[in-house]
Amino acid sequence: MAKKYVYLFEEGKADMKGLLGGKGANLAEMTNIGLPVPPGITVTTEACNDYYAQGRQMPTGLEQEIKEKMVLLEQKIGKKFGDPVNPLLLSIRSGAKFSMPGMMDTILNLGLNDETCEGMIKATGNERFVLDCYRRFIQMFSGVVLDVEHHKFESALDAQKEKRGVHFDTELDAGDLREVLAAYKNVVVRETGKEFPSDPMEQLLLAVQAVFGSWNNQRAIIYRKLNQIPDDLGTAVNIQSMVFGNMGNDCGTGVAFTRNPSTGEKVLYGEYLINAQGEDVVAGIRTPQPISKLQEEMPDIYQQFVDTCNLLEKHYLNMQDIEFTIEKGKLYMLQTRHGKRTAAAAIKIAVDMVGEGLIDKKEAVLRVEAGSLDQLLHRRIDPSAKFDVIAKGLPASPGAACGKVVFDADEAEKLGQAGEKVLLVRTETTPDDIHGIVAAQGILTSRGGMTSHAAVVARGMGKPCVCGCESIKIDYAAKQFKVDSVVINEGDIMSIDGATGQVIMGQVPMIDPQLSDEFRKLLAWTDEIKNMKVRANADTPEDAAKAREFGAEGIGLCRTEHMFMAQDRLPIVQEMILSETTEDREAALAKLLPMQQSDFYGILKAMEGFPVYIRLLDPPLHEFLPNQEELLVEITELKCTNGDKKILKEKEELLRQVKQLHEFNPMLGHRGCRLAVTWPEIYAMQVRAIYQATAQLIKEGVDAKPEVMIPLIIHVNELKMLREQAVSIAEEVQKEQGVTFDIHVGTMIELPRACVTADEIASHADFFSFGTNDLTQTTLGFSRDDAEGKFMSDYINKKILEDNPFVVLDQSGVGRLVKMGTDLGRQANPKLKVGICGEHGGEPTSIGFCQEIGLDYVSCSPYRVPIARLAAAQAAGGESSVSTK
Amino acid sequence: MAKKYVYLFEEGKADMKGLLGGKGANLAEMTNIGLPVPPGITVTTEACNDYYAQGRQMPTGLEQEIKEKMVLLEQKIGKKFGDPVNPLLLSIRSGAKFSMPGMMDTILNLGLNDETCEGMIKATGNERFVLDCYRRFIQMFSGVVLDVEHHKFESALDAQKEKRGVHFDTELDAGDLREVLAAYKNVVVRETGKEFPSDPMEQLLLAVQAVFGSWNNQRAIIYRKLNQIPDDLGTAVNIQSMVFGNMGNDCGTGVAFTRNPSTGEKVLYGEYLINAQGEDVVAGIRTPQPISKLQEEMPDIYQQFVDTCNLLEKHYLNMQDIEFTIEKGKLYMLQTRHGKRTAAAAIKIAVDMVGEGLIDKKEAVLRVEAGSLDQLLHRRIDPSAKFDVIAKGLPASPGAACGKVVFDADEAEKLGQAGEKVLLVRTETTPDDIHGIVAAQGILTSRGGMTSHAAVVARGMGKPCVCGCESIKIDYAAKQFKVDSVVINEGDIMSIDGATGQVIMGQVPMIDPQLSDEFRKLLAWTDEIKNMKVRANADTPEDAAKAREFGAEGIGLCRTEHMFMAQDRLPIVQEMILSETTEDREAALAKLLPMQQSDFYGILKAMEGFPVYIRLLDPPLHEFLPNQEELLVEITELKCTNGDKKILKEKEELLRQVKQLHEFNPMLGHRGCRLAVTWPEIYAMQVRAIYQATAQLIKEGVDAKPEVMIPLIIHVNELKMLREQAVSIAEEVQKEQGVTFDIHVGTMIELPRACVTADEIASHADFFSFGTNDLTQTTLGFSRDDAEGKFMSDYINKKILEDNPFVVLDQSGVGRLVKMGTDLGRQANPKLKVGICGEHGGEPTSIGFCQEIGLDYVSCSPYRVPIARLAAAQAAGGESSVSTK
């Protein structure tokens, strides 16, 4: 049986997104629930995939099937495609399974040629309108299908306006447009060597192929990469009869969300333009009217639209993003889809919908993308701060940002990769600017509304964005913008507040975010659903308190090296490192002991009742010594200038010691438990400090729960030796202090050898904490410091790796070792607690993997704890129960 | 049923080595084949293990069983233990499963006390002899059992000699010895607080426990570590009735090998001393007579001994190391064991024994320790060289060595670890010097014969050794030795030739070894037995030729980076590296192309008919640039001295570029195939050079077989991309040159991720070459450069790791990943060829592992190819077919 490649809208339904694309499936669904949808057909994603499978050829049978279904469409509408009297015109839109706004090319008014154009003029009695449609069609079709650059047509149009001495397209009359049309056709012949195709069916088939082709254009590929959409889904093609929002003042077009996509407030939110075609709203070139104004202008239409919105929201059980057109006083629905929203809106909508009885708590938890919470957890401008607002635009995406001004996406990317914070400033953005938006802290545009490209993309990424800030005048050539007399040059520091639309000179003080009630409610629900514990990586009592506030159930990683870096301690630490004998080293360590004890006292107290996994000293000792190159320069200078001989000698001695500790590959050097293998007295001091602090707290009635974590284990013998030492010190402290406490000693698993011999190691460990940062470095042989600065971007751009493995856990490589280590460890020691404490512990897909392989906990930075809680609940909660989601 | 802890010699046999130890089993065997062995009993190794299991306590029942068996022994000999009239005296010797010469403590004449001493004097009529025995017994027993230091007794003895004004022990008469005995007893009371134990049974039980205890003395532990003998075998204790070689001139003692242990020549080889006890020969204090002299002195005894030797060799089918004693004209056999031998001797003996029909080829191959071949493959002194021989000693262990003179084992170890080459010079060596011998290039002693400690140990290690060089006069205090008027100070450079016994001033030219006919024959047999191919790591036509000469079946690793380092190329390589554009880089690469082509031409030609795996550029590019610190010093100097501004600017620019390429962890940085991901043109040039050289050779009629090897793969996508490039270049070259050749592209597997995703990778690879050096670095997180200089010795000394994992493959960690990679790779691609090319490819136990997991080949340095061939044959050949081996 041959594949069915083409569906009438009536033949589809909402759950056929895989085959018909999201747009096609929703058009079918709306058609079937009786909404006013212009009739059409959908070419399936399978056809697209077969197109690529057959080497970019129309799959066998597709052309025939399109023609057959077009006959049915013509019968339904009562117009014929290519009819010179009353021609059927079509819109051609792509539509993949997942919404990819602005990413794919659209063609309107397909079916126009010299003959049908004249027929349309007669049928509508509106010559200028039809000629303008024809002009737009040639330009659009030529751009998308024939690859003729947009500006070639714009020049022809501009030439006509110049000739007539006018400024706006609308000032051109029908006669002018006929001249423009002739010029356009010449452009096509000049650029392509062929006449513009006049056969409507040829136009249609070429357009279908062009949509297929656009699946793999640069913008689409980047968008998919950014949104982790698989490359092999393909796109459907929606062929729909045209309705016109630009036939006069009883026409219009608009987009609206059923709830506010920024705040989640339950109020219709959108924009429309009278006498305009759909692309005018989305492109952000004309600034549209808020949807509420439609109530005044067209009250009946408005009411009909409100009713339809309510119907759709109840039908889909989700906030909808709807496109509509009004043609001569009649409302048509062109599209509905689940509306993109900010994280704050997603939370409010999900929690409200539970209150409204539409969805349950588990569904609500699944409705909020865990990664998106990040934007709510970022800082905002301190309300008490005084600052100089130089302009105000639309509050297009919440959050505050600060950085150097850049005017170009490439420059933004370049500086961003170099670690600079930048703000991207553009008149408007296009899909070609995506890489600059990714690299920037925030975006400021001088044109476009809340649904403009910049606004939609920035909200999706959780980046602050201010749009349509018309008072700023950008001069790309001079690399500056002006607001009245104020001049801001490239490189100047500026701030924006995407929640208020403010544009601010210089840097402003920012404050930590507050969690909304809905946010707190949603997070509380996660605890009912998830089965993994969420802990935090925190090294100070302050961080510990913050983590607790965000709901952390303990500390999964308390690093002790930062405690060694404090100004007053560094000299003692250096003394310890440079000791030539064990006695000298122990003397220096004895001075550090009370300091470490007070560190642990503070953290254990802040986390009262929760476990605190304390990692013993990890970095190589030379990190605590002066920089070798600086010393070298100082010594050379002293020599050249015949400087103080005594100082020279001291510096030379220090250099000798620094050189002695120098390592070629410090990542793989004398660090972690290796330090304690050589100098057991270092860990002995730390362990004593931990347990003395514990004893002190227990005496004060505080429930302190330390667990000792040994880093960088490769062999069970290391752990055996260091565990024995720790346990015996703990027992000594118990005896000395006359208190008892539980003794737990576990290990980081962060080297491949530890994973493959985890069974041996587990029999001497109370817990495993996978350090997936180091494990990624050694499993891939990637030094993070070197890879991210040098070759990581090549690996991502050339599609060798899907994601930066330091951000998203490499499941098939590193993940396999984590699973192996977990399984082997549990086999040998069924009581073993297992978790991860690398940065992946706060990344949603990685958390999903942790749930899949059955870890007990994840640990992440305090600010990512809410994300981790939500992601853990989602991972435990499984699929959405609402099939149309 | 209670364990049987004690066996009469008659109850054992040769294959009970595990239980009775090697010495005990062989004494039993000799007893049972009717040889004159003094009767005795053996306490089992099980008793020793139970002793440790019970916390260093005599196991229950052992004492009783010893007493019971002693009764049987007394009945057999007709003397009673502790009998004041005609007492039975015993020797107590340790004997583990594997021979550990000089490592364990021995006690002679046990059973003597004041009473039995007088009885013995009456029975033998030789007062002085018996008193001397008693004196030696007290000294030996006190040292071994009571832990009284040797020199305390020596002082007492010296005091007596001084008092009597004599120089030698032998000049002391019976009266003197009675005074010495009294003094000795005082030493014991002073040092231990107790009287010397006079009850013979107490002496015996204490001695047995001391032997057990000696299993874990420092020397024994070091010896086992060095020889990879497990720590849990335990030692047996042999309790044997004494015979005396020191009762007069019709007495004597000696040791002999049934064939020459240095050369393998089939001639009796040994030494004896008239009127001496066994320890006198082995300790090397008196220089003994060659065994052939015995024929003159005691022709009957000699003939009996020769017959016994022949009998034993036929019985054991192996060369024997025999200890004997002659007591009043009667020959006693005290021990036989497989004789230690040099590699050259092992080969000759094995090949000769095949010729004599004693063993088959497979057995012969198993008879030669693969690692020991190393000594035959080292350099020797160039026979045409002129040099200054200052002294001549015994040629105790073949091979030539050169280094700085040191007089102390600790100093030897210290300098050796610092990378210095040293020669250890001692009057004689003892087991306490083992660590110094390990660290030294060679050993020179002024005393002792061919079976002295230094000689035996050095031969075992394959280290050059010259013994008994009596003309050198060592002054430890002054740290120098003199030969006549020549003074050699510590730190002076000296050479020795262990094959000739020559001691030479300064450094001498050395040459490569030649393989003996027997060696060649044995190696040829390996090819009949082994199933893995042995290839070589070689980068030049010269290395390739050497590898071929040693029997390499191809090149498993041809590194290309050394080719970039040549003086004439480095500037072009630097130009390539510092290129800012692809065009500039390609221009520089074009200059390198003909040079690389000629490199490959030479190697492929040298290996005609065999595959050559060429690894594309691997190291990070900054390795080809000037050193950052040197530049920094130069720039600082230029600045301080107001130097040439133009040069300063150039240097600063260069520094900027060097800094830009600087990496924190170059091991994990931008290297290997990552270079080609960023700059595909680099590998493109190399691949083109390879195939152009191939085409050139094919046109010349040479069968060139290159295989392209991509290093540092972590993901199948890297290999896919680079393989496609290589194949398309190969096809271009075929077209351009009008020739055809096979195209093989494979990959190094040297990172854990490659191992765990080997199935994916294998579907795009013709071969896998495990780079176990890098794989060890990443699996363990050990930077070799840093670990070996800093903490590796701590890991070995504290027994965390058994071996240096860069020398011996870490089978349970790295090996597990190698096995996983191999299995996954073969599952996905059954035609995949798999081998290793790390340094482990030439290490015998690692080669055994490769056989076990079914690799196709190993690749190692040319000089280790014979070792690898032998080890591969042994691994394939399995266990020895001769049970007594």
**Do A745 and A683 contact (CB within 8 A), yes or no?**
no
**Do B409 and B398 contact (CB within 8 A), yes or no?**
no
Q: Which of A668, A712, A756 sits opposite B777 (nearest CB)?
A: A668
Quick one: closest CA in B to A663, which residue? Answer: B786
User: How many secondary structure helices (H) and strands (E) does chain B include?
Assistant: 35, 33
* CA distance to partner chain A, nearest, from residue B808 (Å): 16
**Do A37 and A332 contact (CB within 8 A), yes or no?**
yes
* CA distance to partner chain B, nearest, from residue A684 (Å): 17
Output the pLDDT for position A281: 65
Active-site residues of B, by number, are 453, 837
Asked if pLDDT for residue B103 goes beyond 60, the answer is no
Q: Which of A663, A756, A800 sits opposite B813 (nearest CB)?
A: A756
Q: Where are the alpha helices (DSSP H) in A317-408?
A: 343-355, 361-367, 374-377
Output the pLDDT for position B461: 65
Q: Does A670 touch chain B (CB under 8 A)?
A: yes
CB within 8 Å: A714 and B632: no
Question: For the residues A113-130, what does the mean pLDDT come to?
Answer: 91
Q: Does B721 touch chain A (CB under 8 A)?
A: yes
Closest CA to B135 of B182, B190, B181: B181
A670 to chain B: which residues are within 8 Å by CB?
Answer: 786-787, 790-791
Local confidence band at B25 (pLDDT 50, 70, 90 cut-offs): very high
* CA distance to partner chain A, nearest, from residue B629 (Å): 7
Q: Which of A674, A714, A756 sits opposite B817 (nearest CB)?
A: A756
Task: Characterize A445-458 residue by residue with b for buried, 16 or more Cβ atoms within 10 angstroms of its Cβ, and e for exposed.
Answer: bbbbbbbbbbbbbb
| Residue B257: HSE in the Cβ half-sphere, 13 Å Cα cutoff | 23
Percent of chain B at pLDDT exceeding 70: 96
Closest CA to B589 of B562, B564, B618, B558: B564
Q: Helices B150-164 and B127-144: crossing angle, nearest 10°?
A: 150
A715 to chain B: which residues are within 8 Å by CB?
Answer: 800-801, 813
* CA distance to partner chain A, nearest, from residue B801 (Å): 8
Question: For the residues A694-706, what does the mean pLDDT come to?
Answer: 97
Output the pLDDT for position B61: 92
CB within 8 Å: A813 and B641: no
**Paired strand residues for A612:** A555, A706
B812 to chain A: which residues are within 8 Å by CB?
Answer: 756-757
Asked if pLDDT for residue B781 goes beyond 90, the answer is yes
To the query of whether residue A670 is one of the catalytic residues in this protein, the response is no
CB within 8 Å: B783 and A663: yes
B780 to chain A: which residues are within 8 Å by CB?
Answer: 714, 751, 753
Question: Could you give the 3-state DSSP secondary structure of residue B462?
Answer: coil
**Do B778 and B814 contact (CB within 8 A), yes or no?**
no
Kindly report the length of chain B.
885
Asked if pLDDT for residue B562 goes beyond 80, the answer is no
Question: For the residues A589-612, what does the mean pLDDT come to?
Answer: 96
CA pair distance A31, A34, nearest whole angstrom = 5
Q: What is the pLDDT of residues A218-239, one digit of tens each?
A: 778 878 877 778 888 999 999 9
**Do B243 and B332 contact (CB within 8 A), yes or no?**
yes
CB within 8 Å: B794 and A677: yes
SS3 per residue for B674-738:
HHHHHCHHHHHHHHHHHHHHHHHHHHCCCCCEEEEEECCCCCHHHHHHHHHHHHHHHHHHHHHHC
Local confidence band at A417 (pLDDT 50, 70, 90 cut-offs): confident
Question: For the residues B198-205, what does the mean pLDDT come to?
Answer: 96
Least confidently predicted of A747-761, B188-202, B258-272, B632-646: B632-646
Q: Does A630 touch chain B (CB under 8 A)?
A: no
Q: Return the residue in B577, B671, B715 with the most chain A beta carbons within 10 A, the one to mutate for interface testing.
A: B715
Residues 732-751 of A with CB under 8 A from B: 750-751
Q: Helices A628-640 and A645-661: crossing angle, nearest 10°?
A: 150
Question: For the residues B406-415, what does the mean pLDDT come to?
Answer: 91
ipTM: 0.75
Output the pLDDT for position A781: 97
Residues 336-375 of B with CB under 8 A from A: none
Q: What is the pLDDT of residues B139-178, one digit of tens each?
A: 999 988 998 988 899 889 989 989 998 887 778 899 999 9
Annotated catalytic residue within A48, A251, A309, A453 = A453
Residue A60 CB neighbours (<10 A) = 12
User: How many secondary structure helices (H) and strands (E) does chain A include?
Assistant: 35, 33
* CA distance to partner chain A, nearest, from residue B637 (Å): 7
Q: Which of A670, A712, A757 sits opposite B812 (nearest CB)?
A: A757
DSSP string, B283-343: HTSS--EETHHHHHH-HHHHHHHHHHHHHHHHHHTS-EEEEEEEETTEEEEEEEEEPP--H
pTM over 0.90: no
CB within 8 Å: B783 and A752: no
CA pair distance B389, A584, nearest whole angstrom = 50
Asked if pLDDT for residue B505 goes beyond 60, the answer is yes
CB within 8 Å: A774 and B781: yes
Annotated catalytic residue within A465, A467, A673, A837 = A837
- Rounded to 5 degrees, what angle do the CA atoms A658, A663, A669 make? 125
To the query of whether residue A837 is one of the catalytic residues in this protein, the response is yes
* CA distance to partner chain B, nearest, from residue A715 (Å): 7
Output the pLDDT for position B885: 37
A with B: how many residue pairs have Cβ under 8 Å apart? 197
Question: For the residues B324-338, what does the mean pLDDT come to?
Answer: 91
Contacts of A553 (CB under 8 A, 6+ apart): A533, A534, A535, A610, A857
Kindly report the length of chain A.
885
Token pair recorded at residue A587 = 């003397």
Question: Could you give the 3-state DSSP secondary structure of residue B422?
Answer: strand
Q: Which of B628, B641, B665 sits opposite A665 (nearest CB)?
A: B665
* CA distance to partner chain A, nearest, from residue B340 (Å): 34
Residue A620 CB neighbours (<10 A) = 22
Closest CA to B95 of B161, B27, B35: B27
Question: For the residues A204-214, what does the mean pLDDT come to?
Answer: 93
CB within 8 Å: A629 and B633: no
Residues 231-270 of B with CB under 8 A from A: none
Q: What is the pLDDT of residues A347-372, one digit of tens each?
A: 999 999 999 999 999 999 999 999 88
* CA distance to partner chain A, nearest, from residue B55 (Å): 20
Percent of chain B at pLDDT exceeding 90: 64
CB within 8 Å: A665 and B778: no
Q: Does B640 touch chain A (CB under 8 A)?
A: yes
Local confidence band at B123 (pLDDT 50, 70, 90 cut-offs): confident
**Do B749 and B770 contact (CB within 8 A), yes or no?**
yes
Token pair recorded at residue B328 = 């009043």
* CA distance to partner chain A, nearest, from residue B718 (Å): 6
**Do A91 and A110 contact (CB within 8 A), yes or no?**
yes
CB within 8 Å: A801 and B715: yes
Q: Return the residue in B659, B660, B778, B820 with the most chain A beta carbons within 10 A, the one to mutate for interface testing.
A: B778
Write the Ramachandran bin of A342: left for phi over 0, alpha for psi from -120 to 50, otherwise beta. beta
Please give the mean pLDDT across all residues of chain A: 90
DSSP string, B128-181: HHHHHHHHHHHHHHHHHTS---HHHHHHHHHHHHHHHT-SSGGG--HHHHHHHH
Asked if pLDDT for residue A717 goes beyond 80, the answer is yes
Output the pLDDT for position A379: 67
Question: For the residues A314-338, what does the mean pLDDT come to?
Answer: 92
Quick one: closest CA in A to B796, which residue? Answer: A677
Q: Does A882 touch chain B (CB under 8 A)?
A: no
Please give the mean pLDDT across all residues of chain B: 90
Q: Return the residue in A683, A753, A780 with the most chain B beta carbons within 10 A, the one to mutate for interface testing.
A: A753
Closest CA to A855 of A575, A531, A572, A596: A531
Local confidence band at B883 (pLDDT 50, 70, 90 cut-offs): very low
Q: What is the pLDDT of residues B637-689, one digit of tens each?
A: 888 888 888 888 888 888 888 887 888 899 999 999 999 999 999 999 999 99
Output the pLDDT for position B340: 86
What single DSSP character describes residue B229? -
Residues 807-836 of B with CB under 8 A from A: 810, 812-814, 816-817
Quick one: closest CA in B to A661, which residue? Answer: B790
Q: Which of A632, A783, A817 sits opposite B752 (nearest CB)?
A: A817
What single DSSP character describes residue B862? G
CB within 8 Å: B664 and A663: no
Output the pLDDT for position A884: 39
Q: Return the residue in A759, A786, A793, A796 with the most chain B beta carbons within 10 A, the one to mutate for interface testing.
A: A786
Asked if pLDDT for residue B469 goes beyond 60, the answer is yes
Q: Does A678 touch chain B (CB under 8 A)?
A: yes
Q: Does B796 touch chain A (CB under 8 A)?
A: no
Question: For the residues B855-864, what does the mean pLDDT come to?
Answer: 91
Question: Could you give the 3-state DSSP secondary structure of residue A467?
Answer: strand
* CA distance to partner chain A, nearest, from residue B483 (Å): 40
